[in-house]
Amino acid sequence: MNYIQVSILFCIKQLKGERTAYGIYHLLTGKKSAQTIQDGKIFGISFLFQSFVYLDKRSFETCVAYLKEQQYIEETENQKYVMTDKGQARLEDELTARPFHPALDGWKFASSTQLFLARITLFIQTLSNLQYFQKGFLPISKNPEVIQWVKTYIMSQKQTRQELAAELFEELRTCLKGCRERDASLFVLQLTGYQRVGFTKNQLAYQYELDEHYVHIQLLGVIHHIIEKVSKNNESFHVLSSFLRDLYLELPLTSSTLKTYSWLQKGKTLEEIAYIRRLKESTIEDHIAELALFVPAFSIDAYVSPKQQEEIISAFEGLRTNKLKVIKEEVKDDVTYFQIRLVLAKHFT
């Protein structure tokens, strides 16, 4: 099995037939919709958000067909699947031999991963060449914003290039000490410098006899590990923290939800925000459900009374399902789907 298939099989296990397979596709490719975000959190798969951004729909469907053909999954409803005992055994074997990187957190870091990586790899290439007085090199990034950022950063530093390189080396070494030796090597070997061309993921996979998709996701995990370590201790990582300063967000929320959150903090009601922002009330409800998921201090009491919360919690604990329709049938008629979503988001994720 390739690692995309392993990841899909894991997601199917987590979803338990309660969502369609295409929800997994949207999660793995990074579709930032309210449904994708909430399902990722509720079912414990948000760490895989945007993990395979290059996956196209046809390839995804081929992977699902393969899992079905091998009897690792079976279809219960249209495009809804559950994992079989055979699939459970295979998944356990795969994750024992090739576990997910422990630092992988796609939802938290998806917005900063690619730009951070582009900056650091181009910076290393540029600094390496400048140390040998080589200015005529082909930059590995063609993104003009990244190129300009690296130029501006280097020009703004008071240190010599040798001092800057030495400091970055120590910071990276400190970060990579927290990774497995092979994963650290994968990260280093992809770097390009003076008279040195970094390995592609395909070349790394060949050298280490690994699946290319597994190499990809391990590298993502290393990058997330570095971002996490640096963001928690900026003072110890003078150089690396500069690459993150305008990228890292404390709250992993969509931009639209952040706007709604701002209005809520000003005392506006759901209905007032929908009017001000010229959005449907259902859209604002999606934003509020997202806030309930990701903001620990956010209270849902204004939308669901304590008595209704108790009723929904009791229904969930008795049914043990995230299917909103099934829970709705167990509670009083005055309880809405929106209220059920909020309680699930706040109490069971």
pLDDT for res 110: 84
Q: Which CATH number fits domain 3-97: 1.10.150, 3.40.50, 1.10.10, 3.30.70?
A: 1.10.10
Where in the chain is CATH 1.10.10?
3-97, 255-347
pLDDT for res 2: 97
Looking at domain 255-347, which CATH architecture does it have? Orthogonal Bundle (1.10)
Q: Which of 217, 295, 198 is nearest to 252 (CA)?
A: 295
User: Structure pTM?
Assistant: 0.83
Q: Which of 2, 39, 42 is nearest to 24 (CA)?
A: 39
Per-residue pLDDT of 71-111, as tens digits, reads 999 999 889 999 999 999 999 999 999 999 999 999 888 88
Alpha-carbon span 264 to 252, nearest angstrom: 17
pLDDT for res 250: 58
Residues of the chain below pLDDT 70: 34, 248-252, 349
Q: Are 106 and 51 in contact (CB under 8 A)?
A: yes
Alpha-carbon span 115 to 247, nearest angstrom: 8
pLDDT for res 249: 56
Per-residue pLDDT of 185-225, as tens digits, reads 999 999 999 999 999 999 999 999 999 999 999 999 999 99
pLDDT for res 101: 95
Cβ-based neighbours of 328, under 8 Å, separated by 6 or more: 335, 337, 340
pLDDT for res 251: 62
